[in-house]
Homo-oligomer: A and B are copies of this chain.
Amino acid sequence: MTKKVLIVGGVAGGASAAARLRRLDEDAEIILFERGEYISFANCGLPYYLGGVIKERENLLVQTVQGMQERFNVDIRIKSEVTKILRETKEVEVLSQGKTYRESYDYLVLSPGADPILPPIPGIQREGIYTLRNMADVDRIKSLLEEKKPKRAAVVGGGYVGIEMAENLKHAGLDVVLIEAAEQVMGPLDVEMARIVEKELMDNGIRLVLQDAVQRFQGEREIEIILGSGKQEQVDMVIMAAGVRPETKLAKEAGLEIGERGGIRVDEHLRTSDPAIYAVGDAIEVKDRISGEYAIIPLAGPANKQGRIVANNICGGTDQYLGSLGTSIIKVFHVTAAAAGNNEKILRRAGIPYLKSFTHSGSHAGYYPGAFILTIKLLFSPEDGKILGAQIVGREGVDKRIDVLATAIKHGLTVYDLEELELAYAPPYSSAKDPVNMAGFTAANILKGDVKILHWEDLQSLNRAEYVILDVRTKEEYENGSFEGSIHLPVDNIRQRLDEIPKDKKIIIYCKVGLRGYIAYRILAQRGYDVYNLSGGYEIYLAEEY
Protein backbone atom coordinates (compact mmCIF):
# COMPACT_ATOMS: atom_id res chain seq x y z
CA MET A 1 0.00 0.00 0.00
CA THR A 2 1.50 3.33 -0.98
CA LYS A 3 1.43 6.10 1.56
CA LYS A 4 0.26 9.60 0.87
CA VAL A 5 2.24 12.37 2.47
CA LEU A 6 1.30 16.03 2.42
CA ILE A 7 3.88 18.66 3.23
CA VAL A 8 3.08 22.23 4.21
CA GLY A 9 5.90 24.63 3.31
CA GLY A 10 8.32 24.18 0.43
CA VAL A 11 11.60 25.58 1.67
CA ALA A 12 14.22 24.33 4.13
CA GLY A 13 12.36 21.74 6.17
CA GLY A 14 9.59 20.94 3.69
CA ALA A 15 11.70 20.49 0.57
CA SER A 16 14.28 18.46 2.46
CA ALA A 17 11.58 16.14 3.77
CA ALA A 18 10.15 15.73 0.27
CA ALA A 19 13.50 14.90 -1.33
CA ARG A 20 14.43 12.39 1.35
CA LEU A 21 10.96 10.80 1.28
CA ARG A 22 11.26 10.17 -2.40
CA ARG A 23 14.71 8.66 -2.08
CA LEU A 24 13.38 6.29 0.55
CA ASP A 25 10.11 5.48 -1.15
CA GLU A 26 9.73 5.60 -4.89
CA ASP A 27 6.03 4.77 -4.62
CA ALA A 28 4.84 7.23 -2.01
CA GLU A 29 2.45 9.93 -3.13
CA ILE A 30 4.04 13.20 -2.07
CA ILE A 31 2.31 16.55 -2.39
CA LEU A 32 4.06 19.71 -1.31
CA PHE A 33 2.06 22.89 -0.69
CA GLU A 34 3.70 26.27 -0.75
CA ARG A 35 1.70 29.43 -0.44
CA GLY A 36 4.39 31.52 -2.07
CA GLU A 37 5.58 31.37 -5.65
CA TYR A 38 8.92 29.72 -4.95
CA ILE A 39 10.20 26.65 -3.21
CA SER A 40 13.69 25.77 -2.00
CA PHE A 41 15.06 29.26 -2.02
CA ALA A 42 18.01 30.47 -0.03
CA ASN A 43 16.48 32.56 2.74
CA CYS A 44 19.93 32.93 4.18
CA GLY A 45 21.22 34.48 0.99
CA LEU A 46 18.57 37.20 0.74
CA PRO A 47 20.52 39.96 2.53
CA TYR A 48 23.58 39.29 0.39
CA TYR A 49 21.57 39.59 -2.80
CA LEU A 50 20.30 42.97 -1.65
CA GLY A 51 23.86 44.05 -0.90
CA GLY A 52 25.06 42.98 -4.33
CA VAL A 53 27.35 40.30 -2.92
CA ILE A 54 25.23 37.64 -4.59
CA LYS A 55 24.82 39.04 -8.08
CA GLU A 56 22.16 36.91 -9.69
CA ARG A 57 18.64 36.54 -8.37
CA GLU A 58 18.39 33.07 -9.84
CA ASN A 59 21.25 31.96 -7.63
CA LEU A 60 18.86 32.27 -4.71
CA LEU A 61 16.70 29.52 -6.15
CA VAL A 62 18.47 26.39 -4.98
CA GLN A 63 15.81 24.24 -6.60
CA THR A 64 12.91 25.17 -8.90
CA VAL A 65 9.44 23.72 -9.03
CA GLN A 66 10.20 22.06 -12.33
CA GLY A 67 13.60 20.81 -11.25
CA MET A 68 12.24 19.35 -8.06
CA GLN A 69 9.33 17.70 -9.87
CA GLU A 70 11.60 16.11 -12.42
CA ARG A 71 14.17 14.91 -9.98
CA PHE A 72 11.96 13.78 -7.16
CA ASN A 73 8.59 13.22 -8.77
CA VAL A 74 6.90 15.34 -6.14
CA ASP A 75 3.56 17.00 -6.84
CA ILE A 76 4.42 20.60 -6.07
CA ARG A 77 1.63 23.08 -5.66
CA ILE A 78 2.79 26.64 -5.30
CA LYS A 79 0.48 29.57 -4.56
CA SER A 80 -1.46 27.04 -2.54
CA GLU A 81 -2.08 27.80 1.09
CA VAL A 82 -3.12 25.09 3.48
CA THR A 83 -5.81 26.82 5.50
CA LYS A 84 -7.08 24.06 7.73
CA ILE A 85 -6.20 20.63 9.04
CA LEU A 86 -9.10 18.27 9.43
CA ARG A 87 -7.58 15.73 11.75
CA GLU A 88 -10.66 13.55 12.08
CA THR A 89 -10.81 12.79 8.39
CA LYS A 90 -7.08 13.23 7.84
CA GLU A 91 -7.52 15.95 5.30
CA VAL A 92 -6.29 19.45 4.74
CA GLU A 93 -8.10 22.34 3.16
CA VAL A 94 -6.16 24.18 0.48
CA LEU A 95 -6.76 27.66 -0.88
CA SER A 96 -5.46 28.16 -4.38
CA GLN A 97 -6.36 30.81 -6.91
CA GLY A 98 -9.39 31.79 -4.91
CA LYS A 99 -10.69 28.23 -4.72
CA THR A 100 -10.70 25.85 -1.80
CA TYR A 101 -10.32 22.09 -2.02
CA ARG A 102 -9.45 19.20 0.25
CA GLU A 103 -6.64 16.72 0.07
CA SER A 104 -6.37 13.63 2.24
CA TYR A 105 -3.23 12.32 3.88
CA ASP A 106 -1.74 9.37 5.67
CA TYR A 107 0.99 11.60 7.06
CA LEU A 108 1.16 15.34 7.26
CA VAL A 109 4.43 17.25 7.62
CA LEU A 110 4.29 20.84 8.83
CA SER A 111 7.21 23.05 7.92
CA PRO A 112 5.52 26.45 7.74
CA GLY A 113 8.48 28.39 9.15
CA ALA A 114 8.18 31.59 11.09
CA ASP A 115 6.86 35.08 10.61
CA PRO A 116 8.84 38.26 11.13
CA ILE A 117 7.58 39.95 14.27
CA LEU A 118 5.88 43.28 13.61
CA PRO A 119 5.52 45.01 16.97
CA PRO A 120 2.42 47.14 17.37
CA ILE A 121 4.25 50.40 16.77
CA PRO A 122 2.12 53.28 15.50
CA GLY A 123 2.84 53.88 11.86
CA ILE A 124 4.44 50.49 11.23
CA GLN A 125 2.07 49.77 8.37
CA ARG A 126 3.19 52.77 6.36
CA GLU A 127 5.02 52.59 3.07
CA GLY A 128 8.76 52.11 3.15
CA ILE A 129 8.83 49.70 6.07
CA TYR A 130 9.85 46.16 5.16
CA THR A 131 10.48 42.75 6.58
CA LEU A 132 12.67 40.16 4.93
CA ARG A 133 11.71 36.51 4.83
CA ASN A 134 11.07 35.36 1.28
CA MET A 135 11.47 36.05 -2.42
CA ALA A 136 8.51 38.43 -2.54
CA ASP A 137 10.10 40.49 0.25
CA VAL A 138 13.46 40.57 -1.44
CA ASP A 139 11.95 41.58 -4.75
CA ARG A 140 10.11 44.43 -3.10
CA ILE A 141 13.20 45.74 -1.37
CA LYS A 142 15.38 45.27 -4.45
CA SER A 143 13.07 47.31 -6.61
CA LEU A 144 12.88 50.02 -3.98
CA LEU A 145 16.67 50.18 -3.92
CA GLU A 146 16.89 50.32 -7.68
CA GLU A 147 14.01 52.61 -8.44
CA LYS A 148 13.80 55.02 -5.55
CA LYS A 149 17.49 54.97 -4.70
CA PRO A 150 16.98 55.61 -1.00
CA LYS A 151 19.96 57.18 0.75
CA ARG A 152 19.27 56.47 4.40
CA ALA A 153 18.02 53.28 6.01
CA ALA A 154 17.16 52.22 9.50
CA VAL A 155 17.33 48.62 10.54
CA VAL A 156 15.30 47.83 13.63
CA GLY A 157 16.67 44.83 15.51
CA GLY A 158 20.26 43.75 16.05
CA GLY A 159 19.92 40.00 15.59
CA TYR A 160 21.27 38.02 12.64
CA VAL A 161 18.96 39.36 10.00
CA GLY A 162 19.26 42.93 11.28
CA ILE A 163 23.02 42.91 11.26
CA GLU A 164 23.25 41.21 7.87
CA MET A 165 20.84 43.77 6.47
CA ALA A 166 22.75 46.67 8.01
CA GLU A 167 25.97 45.42 6.43
CA ASN A 168 24.38 44.80 3.08
CA LEU A 169 22.53 48.08 2.88
CA LYS A 170 25.86 49.71 3.61
CA HIS A 171 27.38 47.71 0.76
CA ALA A 172 24.55 48.99 -1.40
CA GLY A 173 25.69 52.50 -0.61
CA LEU A 174 23.17 53.60 1.99
CA ASP A 175 23.73 55.42 5.21
CA VAL A 176 22.55 52.97 7.86
CA VAL A 177 21.42 53.29 11.45
CA LEU A 178 20.84 50.10 13.45
CA ILE A 179 18.38 50.43 16.30
CA GLU A 180 18.24 47.83 19.05
CA ALA A 181 16.06 48.05 22.13
CA ALA A 182 18.24 45.75 24.24
CA GLU A 183 21.59 46.76 25.69
CA GLN A 184 23.46 44.72 23.08
CA VAL A 185 23.19 43.30 19.59
CA MET A 186 23.36 39.54 18.91
CA GLY A 187 21.41 37.80 21.62
CA PRO A 188 23.35 34.51 21.40
CA LEU A 189 26.46 36.33 22.63
CA ASP A 190 27.03 37.68 26.10
CA VAL A 191 27.46 41.40 26.31
CA GLU A 192 31.27 41.64 26.35
CA MET A 193 31.47 39.50 23.22
CA ALA A 194 28.69 41.42 21.53
CA ARG A 195 30.69 44.58 22.13
CA ILE A 196 33.33 43.40 19.67
CA VAL A 197 30.63 43.00 17.05
CA GLU A 198 29.22 46.41 17.83
CA LYS A 199 32.63 47.97 17.45
CA GLU A 200 33.03 46.38 14.04
CA LEU A 201 29.65 47.72 12.97
CA MET A 202 30.60 51.23 14.04
CA ASP A 203 34.07 50.98 12.51
CA ASN A 204 32.36 50.26 9.24
CA GLY A 205 30.13 53.27 9.39
CA ILE A 206 26.94 51.80 10.82
CA ARG A 207 25.41 54.13 13.37
CA LEU A 208 24.36 52.10 16.36
CA VAL A 209 21.55 52.97 18.72
CA LEU A 210 21.29 50.66 21.71
CA GLN A 211 18.79 50.47 24.54
CA ASP A 212 16.35 52.62 22.72
CA ALA A 213 13.10 51.36 21.28
CA VAL A 214 11.08 52.70 18.38
CA GLN A 215 7.96 54.44 19.65
CA ARG A 216 6.47 55.67 16.45
CA PHE A 217 6.96 55.94 12.71
CA GLN A 218 5.70 59.17 11.21
CA GLY A 219 6.40 61.73 8.52
CA GLU A 220 5.22 62.37 4.99
CA ARG A 221 7.76 61.44 2.35
CA GLU A 222 10.64 60.52 4.57
CA ILE A 223 10.16 58.27 7.53
CA GLU A 224 10.65 59.85 10.93
CA ILE A 225 11.45 57.39 13.64
CA ILE A 226 10.69 58.54 17.15
CA LEU A 227 12.64 56.64 19.78
CA GLY A 228 11.82 56.07 23.42
CA SER A 229 14.63 58.40 24.44
CA GLY A 230 13.02 61.15 22.41
CA LYS A 231 15.71 61.00 19.76
CA GLN A 232 14.65 61.01 16.13
CA GLU A 233 15.96 59.47 12.96
CA GLN A 234 15.02 60.52 9.44
CA VAL A 235 15.33 57.78 6.87
CA ASP A 236 14.06 56.74 3.46
CA MET A 237 13.42 53.11 4.32
CA VAL A 238 13.15 50.81 7.31
CA ILE A 239 13.88 47.11 7.69
CA MET A 240 12.07 45.56 10.61
CA ALA A 241 14.21 42.70 11.90
CA ALA A 242 12.84 42.27 15.37
CA GLY A 243 12.94 38.49 15.34
CA VAL A 244 10.52 35.83 14.17
CA ARG A 245 7.54 34.07 15.67
CA PRO A 246 6.78 30.42 14.91
CA GLU A 247 4.01 30.11 12.34
CA THR A 248 1.54 28.07 14.39
CA LYS A 249 -1.85 29.24 13.20
CA LEU A 250 -2.71 26.02 11.38
CA ALA A 251 -1.44 23.83 14.18
CA LYS A 252 -3.23 25.83 16.86
CA GLU A 253 -6.54 25.81 15.05
CA ALA A 254 -6.24 22.07 14.58
CA GLY A 255 -5.80 21.67 18.32
CA LEU A 256 -2.20 20.46 18.16
CA GLU A 257 -0.23 21.07 21.31
CA ILE A 258 1.66 24.34 21.37
CA GLY A 259 4.58 24.63 23.76
CA GLU A 260 5.48 27.17 26.39
CA ARG A 261 7.75 29.10 24.02
CA GLY A 262 5.03 29.41 21.43
CA GLY A 263 6.24 26.76 19.00
CA ILE A 264 4.55 23.55 17.93
CA ARG A 265 5.35 20.91 20.54
CA VAL A 266 6.89 17.73 19.12
CA ASP A 267 8.32 14.58 20.69
CA GLU A 268 11.85 13.30 20.08
CA HIS A 269 10.66 11.73 16.81
CA LEU A 270 9.40 15.16 15.74
CA ARG A 271 5.80 14.00 15.94
CA THR A 272 3.19 16.47 17.11
CA SER A 273 0.46 15.58 19.60
CA ASP A 274 -1.27 13.93 16.62
CA PRO A 275 0.71 10.82 15.62
CA ALA A 276 -0.06 11.29 11.92
CA ILE A 277 1.35 14.81 11.93
CA TYR A 278 5.02 15.73 12.10
CA ALA A 279 6.43 19.22 12.37
CA VAL A 280 9.91 20.65 11.77
CA GLY A 281 11.89 23.83 11.42
CA ASP A 282 11.27 27.32 12.66
CA ALA A 283 7.72 26.45 13.68
CA ILE A 284 8.62 24.00 16.42
CA GLU A 285 10.08 24.01 19.89
CA VAL A 286 13.05 21.78 20.54
CA LYS A 287 14.96 20.90 23.65
CA ASP A 288 18.05 22.94 24.37
CA ARG A 289 20.75 20.27 24.72
CA ILE A 290 22.46 21.98 27.62
CA SER A 291 19.77 23.57 29.74
CA GLY A 292 17.15 20.99 28.85
CA GLU A 293 14.67 23.83 28.46
CA TYR A 294 12.43 24.16 25.43
CA ALA A 295 13.78 26.61 22.89
CA ILE A 296 12.98 28.06 19.51
CA ILE A 297 15.99 27.64 17.22
CA PRO A 298 15.08 29.25 13.90
CA LEU A 299 18.06 28.05 11.89
CA ALA A 300 18.43 26.32 8.55
CA GLY A 301 20.72 23.48 9.66
CA PRO A 302 18.25 22.10 12.18
CA ALA A 303 15.33 22.65 9.76
CA ASN A 304 17.02 20.67 7.00
CA LYS A 305 18.08 17.85 9.29
CA GLN A 306 14.69 17.66 10.95
CA GLY A 307 13.06 17.39 7.52
CA ARG A 308 15.30 14.43 6.80
CA ILE A 309 14.54 12.78 10.14
CA VAL A 310 10.81 13.10 9.64
CA ALA A 311 11.08 11.48 6.22
CA ASN A 312 12.99 8.60 7.80
CA ASN A 313 10.37 8.19 10.48
CA ILE A 314 7.48 8.26 8.04
CA CYS A 315 9.26 5.46 6.20
CA GLY A 316 9.45 3.30 9.29
CA GLY A 317 12.50 4.74 11.01
CA THR A 318 12.78 5.65 14.65
CA ASP A 319 15.23 8.52 14.31
CA GLN A 320 15.42 10.94 17.17
CA TYR A 321 16.11 14.64 17.25
CA LEU A 322 17.57 15.09 20.67
CA GLY A 323 17.66 18.84 20.74
CA SER A 324 19.78 21.67 19.58
CA LEU A 325 22.88 23.55 20.62
CA GLY A 326 21.76 26.57 18.65
CA THR A 327 25.12 26.64 16.90
CA SER A 328 25.14 29.85 14.90
CA ILE A 329 27.49 32.15 13.08
CA ILE A 330 27.42 35.52 11.42
CA LYS A 331 29.70 37.60 9.26
CA VAL A 332 29.87 41.23 10.36
CA PHE A 333 32.02 43.06 7.82
CA HIS A 334 35.52 41.71 8.50
CA VAL A 335 34.60 39.97 11.71
CA THR A 336 32.95 36.63 12.36
CA ALA A 337 30.95 35.95 15.50
CA ALA A 338 29.74 32.52 16.50
CA ALA A 339 28.18 30.68 19.41
CA ALA A 340 27.21 27.17 20.43
CA GLY A 341 25.54 25.88 23.54
CA ASN A 342 24.35 28.18 26.29
CA ASN A 343 25.46 31.69 27.11
CA GLU A 344 25.56 33.17 30.61
CA LYS A 345 22.09 34.57 30.32
CA ILE A 346 20.59 31.16 29.61
CA LEU A 347 22.67 29.37 32.22
CA ARG A 348 21.68 31.86 34.88
CA ARG A 349 18.02 31.58 33.97
CA ALA A 350 18.24 27.79 34.08
CA GLY A 351 20.10 27.89 37.39
CA ILE A 352 23.05 25.94 36.01
CA PRO A 353 26.32 26.70 37.81
CA TYR A 354 29.20 27.61 35.53
CA LEU A 355 32.71 28.94 35.33
CA LYS A 356 33.97 31.03 32.44
CA SER A 357 37.25 31.80 30.79
CA PHE A 358 38.42 34.08 28.04
CA THR A 359 41.36 33.49 25.74
CA HIS A 360 42.69 35.49 22.84
CA SER A 361 44.79 33.48 20.41
CA GLY A 362 46.13 33.98 16.92
CA SER A 363 44.04 32.45 14.16
CA HIS A 364 47.28 30.85 13.00
CA ALA A 365 50.99 30.99 13.79
CA GLY A 366 52.00 34.58 14.45
CA TYR A 367 55.11 34.32 12.29
CA TYR A 368 53.08 33.45 9.20
CA PRO A 369 51.42 36.50 7.63
CA GLY A 370 47.73 37.21 7.97
CA ALA A 371 47.04 35.97 11.48
CA PHE A 372 44.41 37.75 13.56
CA ILE A 373 43.49 37.44 17.19
CA LEU A 374 40.31 35.59 17.99
CA THR A 375 38.57 35.77 21.33
CA ILE A 376 37.11 32.61 22.79
CA LYS A 377 34.73 32.58 25.71
CA LEU A 378 34.21 29.19 27.27
CA LEU A 379 31.50 28.36 29.78
CA PHE A 380 31.99 25.12 31.67
CA SER A 381 30.77 23.17 34.64
CA PRO A 382 32.58 23.83 37.93
CA GLU A 383 32.04 20.17 38.83
CA ASP A 384 33.52 18.21 35.98
CA GLY A 385 34.57 20.76 33.40
CA LYS A 386 31.86 19.78 30.93
CA ILE A 387 31.60 22.47 28.29
CA LEU A 388 28.29 24.29 28.50
CA GLY A 389 28.78 26.95 25.89
CA ALA A 390 31.27 28.69 23.65
CA GLN A 391 31.36 32.08 21.97
CA ILE A 392 34.01 33.25 19.54
CA VAL A 393 34.62 36.55 17.79
CA GLY A 394 37.49 37.35 15.44
CA ARG A 395 38.50 37.98 11.88
CA GLU A 396 39.76 34.58 10.76
CA GLY A 397 39.29 30.98 11.78
CA VAL A 398 36.25 31.58 13.98
CA ASP A 399 34.08 29.17 12.00
CA LYS A 400 36.63 26.40 12.45
CA ARG A 401 36.90 26.75 16.20
CA ILE A 402 33.16 26.98 16.78
CA ASP A 403 32.62 23.80 14.80
CA VAL A 404 35.21 21.95 16.85
CA LEU A 405 33.59 23.25 20.02
CA ALA A 406 30.09 22.44 18.79
CA THR A 407 31.26 18.89 18.18
CA ALA A 408 32.79 18.82 21.63
CA ILE A 409 29.68 20.18 23.33
CA LYS A 410 27.38 17.82 21.46
CA HIS A 411 29.34 14.86 22.77
CA GLY A 412 29.69 16.02 26.34
CA LEU A 413 33.42 16.73 26.25
CA THR A 414 35.15 18.58 29.04
CA VAL A 415 37.74 21.32 29.06
CA TYR A 416 40.29 18.59 29.79
CA ASP A 417 39.36 16.93 26.52
CA LEU A 418 40.02 20.21 24.71
CA GLU A 419 43.57 20.22 26.03
CA GLU A 420 44.20 16.93 24.28
CA LEU A 421 42.51 17.49 20.94
CA GLU A 422 44.91 16.76 18.15
CA LEU A 423 44.08 19.44 15.63
CA ALA A 424 45.77 20.04 12.31
CA TYR A 425 48.76 22.34 12.44
CA ALA A 426 50.77 23.99 9.73
CA PRO A 427 51.64 27.69 9.93
CA PRO A 428 48.93 28.96 7.54
CA TYR A 429 46.17 27.26 9.52
CA SER A 430 46.85 27.18 13.22
CA SER A 431 49.47 26.98 15.95
CA ALA A 432 51.02 23.91 17.50
CA LYS A 433 48.63 24.64 20.35
CA ASP A 434 45.44 25.54 18.59
CA PRO A 435 43.26 28.28 20.10
CA VAL A 436 40.88 25.51 21.15
CA ASN A 437 43.68 23.74 23.02
CA MET A 438 44.63 27.08 24.61
CA ALA A 439 41.06 27.65 25.72
CA GLY A 440 41.17 24.16 27.19
CA PHE A 441 44.44 24.75 29.03
CA THR A 442 43.23 28.01 30.45
CA ALA A 443 39.87 26.66 31.55
CA ALA A 444 41.45 23.55 33.04
CA ASN A 445 43.89 25.67 35.00
CA ILE A 446 40.98 27.60 36.47
CA LEU A 447 39.07 24.44 37.23
CA LYS A 448 42.00 22.72 38.92
CA GLY A 449 42.71 25.83 40.97
CA ASP A 450 46.11 26.38 39.37
CA VAL A 451 45.04 29.95 38.85
CA LYS A 452 42.43 32.02 40.60
CA ILE A 453 40.74 34.48 38.31
CA LEU A 454 38.53 37.49 38.50
CA HIS A 455 36.35 39.00 35.84
CA TRP A 456 36.14 42.72 35.35
CA GLU A 457 32.64 42.90 36.68
CA ASP A 458 33.83 41.24 39.92
CA LEU A 459 35.96 44.29 40.73
CA GLN A 460 32.91 46.32 41.58
CA SER A 461 32.08 44.12 44.54
CA LEU A 462 35.58 44.32 46.02
CA ASN A 463 36.70 46.84 48.60
CA ARG A 464 39.18 49.11 46.82
CA ALA A 465 41.32 49.36 49.96
CA GLU A 466 41.90 45.63 50.02
CA TYR A 467 43.61 45.11 46.71
CA VAL A 468 46.23 46.45 44.38
CA ILE A 469 46.09 46.11 40.64
CA LEU A 470 49.29 45.03 38.95
CA ASP A 471 49.81 45.71 35.27
CA VAL A 472 52.43 43.22 34.07
CA ARG A 473 52.65 44.41 30.46
CA THR A 474 55.52 46.30 28.91
CA LYS A 475 56.16 49.97 29.62
CA GLU A 476 54.86 50.98 26.19
CA GLU A 477 51.64 49.05 26.65
CA TYR A 478 51.14 50.53 30.10
CA GLU A 479 51.66 54.06 28.88
CA ASN A 480 49.28 53.54 26.00
CA GLY A 481 46.43 53.03 28.40
CA SER A 482 46.01 51.11 31.60
CA PHE A 483 43.52 50.38 34.30
CA GLU A 484 43.02 53.26 36.70
CA GLY A 485 45.16 53.02 39.81
CA SER A 486 47.22 50.10 38.56
CA ILE A 487 50.87 49.66 39.44
CA HIS A 488 53.23 48.80 36.61
CA LEU A 489 55.58 45.83 37.02
CA PRO A 490 56.46 43.90 33.86
CA VAL A 491 56.13 40.14 34.16
CA ASP A 492 59.80 39.59 33.38
CA ASN A 493 60.90 41.77 36.32
CA ILE A 494 58.67 40.37 39.01
CA ARG A 495 61.18 37.94 40.43
CA GLN A 496 63.67 40.79 40.94
CA ARG A 497 61.15 43.21 42.37
CA LEU A 498 59.10 41.04 44.67
CA ASP A 499 59.64 43.41 47.59
CA GLU A 500 57.60 46.12 45.84
CA ILE A 501 54.49 44.00 46.10
CA PRO A 502 52.46 44.25 49.30
CA LYS A 503 51.80 40.94 51.02
CA ASP A 504 48.82 42.11 53.03
CA LYS A 505 46.56 42.85 50.08
CA LYS A 506 44.92 40.95 47.31
CA ILE A 507 46.96 41.29 44.15
CA ILE A 508 44.92 41.60 41.00
CA ILE A 509 47.03 41.06 37.92
CA TYR A 510 46.27 41.89 34.35
CA CYS A 511 48.04 41.94 31.01
CA LYS A 512 46.77 42.29 27.46
CA VAL A 513 45.08 38.93 27.05
CA GLY A 514 45.64 37.02 30.27
CA LEU A 515 48.70 34.93 29.40
CA ARG A 516 51.42 37.04 31.00
CA GLY A 517 49.06 37.70 33.87
CA TYR A 518 48.82 33.97 34.36
CA ILE A 519 52.62 33.60 34.34
CA ALA A 520 52.93 36.41 36.88
CA TYR A 521 50.19 34.76 38.90
CA ARG A 522 52.13 31.52 39.06
CA ILE A 523 55.23 33.29 40.33
CA LEU A 524 53.44 35.26 43.00
CA ALA A 525 51.07 32.54 44.14
CA GLN A 526 54.02 30.25 44.79
CA ARG A 527 55.63 33.03 46.82
CA GLY A 528 52.64 33.21 49.09
CA TYR A 529 50.75 36.17 47.66
CA ASP A 530 46.96 36.22 47.44
CA VAL A 531 46.71 36.68 43.69
CA TYR A 532 43.99 36.85 41.05
CA ASN A 533 44.41 37.02 37.30
CA LEU A 534 41.96 39.08 35.31
CA SER A 535 40.48 36.68 32.79
CA GLY A 536 40.78 37.92 29.23
CA GLY A 537 43.01 40.80 30.29
CA TYR A 538 42.80 44.38 29.13
CA GLU A 539 41.35 43.31 25.78
CA ILE A 540 38.10 42.19 27.33
CA TYR A 541 37.96 45.33 29.40
CA LEU A 542 38.54 47.44 26.29
CA ALA A 543 35.91 45.48 24.41
CA GLU A 544 33.36 46.08 27.11
CA GLU A 545 34.15 49.78 27.18
CA TYR A 546 34.68 50.03 23.38
For A399, list chain B residues within 8 Å (CB). Answer: 400, 424, 429-430
Q: Are B327 and A422 in contact (CB under 8 A)?
A: yes
For A419, list chain B residues within 8 Å (CB). Answer: 305
Whether A408 sits at the interface, judged by CB under 8 Å, is yes
Q: Are A71 and B519 in contact (CB under 8 A)?
A: yes
Whether A86 sits at the interface, judged by CB under 8 Å, is no
Contact with B along A6-27 (1 / 0, CB 8 A): 0000001000000000111111
> Known: A26-B523, A367-B62, A417-B411. Is A428-B340 also a contact (CB below 8 A)?
no
Question: What's the least CB distance linking A497 to chain B, in Å?
Answer: 13
Question: What's the least CB distance linking A456 to chain B, in Å?
Answer: 24
Stretch from A95-103, A108-116, A207-215, A328-336 forming part of the interface with B = A328-336
Interface size of A by CB at 8 A reads: 84
Closest chain B residue to A326 by CB distance?
B422
Contact with B along A326-366 (1 / 0, CB 8 A): 01111100001010100000000000000000000000011
Q: Are A302 and B422 in contact (CB under 8 A)?
A: yes
Q: Are A327 and B367 in contact (CB under 8 A)?
A: no
Closest chain B residue to A445 by CB distance?
B23
Q: In the complex this chain forms, how many copies of it are found?
A: 2
Contact with B along A315-329 (1 / 0, CB 8 A): 000000010110111
Q: Are B367 and A59 in contact (CB under 8 A)?
A: yes
Q: Which of B12, B60, B411, B422 contacts A413 (CB 8 A)?
A: B411
Question: What's the least CB distance linking A382 to chain B, in Å?
Answer: 21
Whether A121 sits at the interface, judged by CB under 8 Å, is no
Within 8 A of B (CB), among A516-537: 518-519, 522-523, 526-527
Q: Are B324 and A425 in contact (CB under 8 A)?
A: no
Q: Are A53 and B301 in contact (CB under 8 A)?
A: no
> Known: A403-B403, A404-B407, A411-B411. Is A426-B331 also a contact (CB below 8 A)?
yes
Stretch from A40-48, A176-184, A231-239, A266-274 forming part of the interface with B = A40-48
Q: Are A60 and B27 in contact (CB under 8 A)?
A: no
Besides the known contacts A42-B365, A327-B423, 14 further A-B residue pairs in the complex with CB atoms under 8 A apart: A23-B519, A24-B450, A59-B366, A160-B426, A301-B422, A304-B432, A304-B433, A330-B426, A400-B403, A403-B404, A403-B434, A406-B422, A410-B422, A411-B417
| Complex A-B: 11 CB contacts under 8 Å | A24-B450, A25-B526, A27-B526, A53-B369, A62-B366, A327-B423, A329-B425, A331-B426, A338-B424, A399-B430, A410-B421
Listed in ascending order, the chain A residues whose CB lies under 8 Å from chain B are 12, 22-27, 42, 44-45, 48, 53-55, 59-60, 62, 67, 70-71, 73, 160, 299-305, 322, 324-325, 327-331, 336, 338, 340, 365-369, 399-400, 402-404, 406-408, 410-411, 413, 417, 419-430, 432-434, 436-437, 450, 491-492, 495, 518-519, 522-523, 526-527
